[in-house]
């Protein structure tokens, strides 16, 4: 912590607490201990982002069975518009070599917060993103795209495995492949072992990204899969 005056805000609960292993991952985006589909894993990571933007720090204290305390340290400032400081929001840096025509990613995710954050990150990296909130919606989006442009308009399908609407991510992948043979597909899930064993293992040019994941890791994976297809 830099020298200076800080205001500390502490929020505590008397819940079940966190183990040291869970505590170590608490600020990672999309990390959650809840069953798949029952939590986004974005609460503490959003808090961490807010604190960093405010030039403060956050500390967690937790013991299993003893609850959790969150300590927020915010720099103290005097009120007044002349003292306001504009803090730029951290953004992913675009890669230096951007294609003339941006590659298109079809993103299918039913959790609105996750979908918005992921789409924003991909757009900042130069991708064109089409969003859908379930399997049938994703297929309709792909059909519209194919009707409006060339067959190769969609460069990659990025879909969660656990989707509502009667069409899960793995089934969506198969249906999309029938429409666009060889389409690269990236499946995201928090429980790859159980979910994918029940729904079918990934096929050729399909990859799995486990939650929680860093947005930079996601960006590298997407670019790698699109790059391999372009070079084929």
Residue with tokens 């990150």: 121
pLDDT of the chain, 232 residues: tens digit per residue: 567 788 888 989 888 888 888 777 776 655 555 554 444 444 566 666 667 667 788 888 888 888 888 888 888 877 655 544 555 555 555 555 544 578 999 999 998 888 888 888 888 888 999 999 999 999 999 999 998 875 458 999 999 988 988 999 989 999 999 999 999 999 988 765 555 566 556 677 789 888 777 778 888 899 999 886 655 5
Q: What is the set of domains in the chain, with CATH numbers? A: 6-75 (3.30.565.10), 104-226 (3.40.50.2300)
- State the pLDDT at residue 130: 96
Dist. CA 160–CA 155, nearest whole Å: 17
CA 128 to chain centre: 16
Dist. CA 184–CA 167, nearest whole Å: 19
- State the pLDDT at residue 136: 95
Pairing mode, strands 128-132 and 104-108: parallel
Q: Which helix (H) or strand (E) holds 5?
A: none
- State the pLDDT at residue 79: 61
- State the pLDDT at residue 48: 66
Dist. CA 216–CA 34, nearest whole Å: 24
pTM (global) more than 0.85: no
Nearest CA-CA partner of 12 in 92, 71, 64, 99 = 71
Dist. CA 184–CA 172, nearest whole Å: 13
List the alpha helices (DSSP H) in 25-124: 43-53, 112-124
Q: Is there a contact between 113 and 42 (Cβ–Cβ < 8 Å)?
A: yes
Distance, first Cα to last Cα, the chain: 50
Residue 44: both structure tokens together: 């503490």
- State the pLDDT at residue 191: 66
């Amino acid at each position: 912590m830099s020298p200076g005056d800080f205001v500390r805000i502490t929020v505590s609960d008397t819940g079940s607490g966190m183990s040291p292993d869970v505590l170590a991952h608490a600020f990672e985006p999309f990390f959650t201990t809840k069953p798949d589909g029952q939590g986004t894993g974005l609460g503490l990571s959003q808090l961490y982002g807010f604190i960093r933007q405010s030039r403060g720090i956050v500390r967690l204290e937790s013991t299993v069975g003893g609850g959790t305390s969150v300590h927020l340290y915010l720099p103290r400032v005097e009120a007044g518009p002349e003292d306001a400081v504009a803090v730029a929001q951290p953004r992913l840096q675009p890669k230096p070599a951007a294609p003339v025509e941006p590659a298109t990613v079809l993103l299918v995710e039913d959790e609105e917060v996750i979908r918005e954050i992921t789409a924003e990150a991909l757009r900042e990296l130069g991708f064109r993103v089409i969003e859908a909130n379930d399997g049938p919606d994703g297929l309709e989006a792909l059909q519209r795209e194919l009707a409006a442009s060339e067959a190769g308009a969609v460069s990659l399908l990025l879909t969660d495995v656990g989707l509502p609407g009667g069409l899960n991510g793995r089934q969506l992948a198969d249906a999309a492949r029938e429409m666009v043979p060889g389409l690269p597909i990236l499946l995201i899930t928090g429980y790859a072992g159980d979910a994918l064993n029940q729904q079918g293992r990934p096929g050729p040019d399909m990859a799995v990204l486990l939650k929680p994941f860093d947005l930079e890791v996601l960006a590298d994976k997407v670019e790698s899969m699109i790059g391999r297809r372009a070079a084929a």
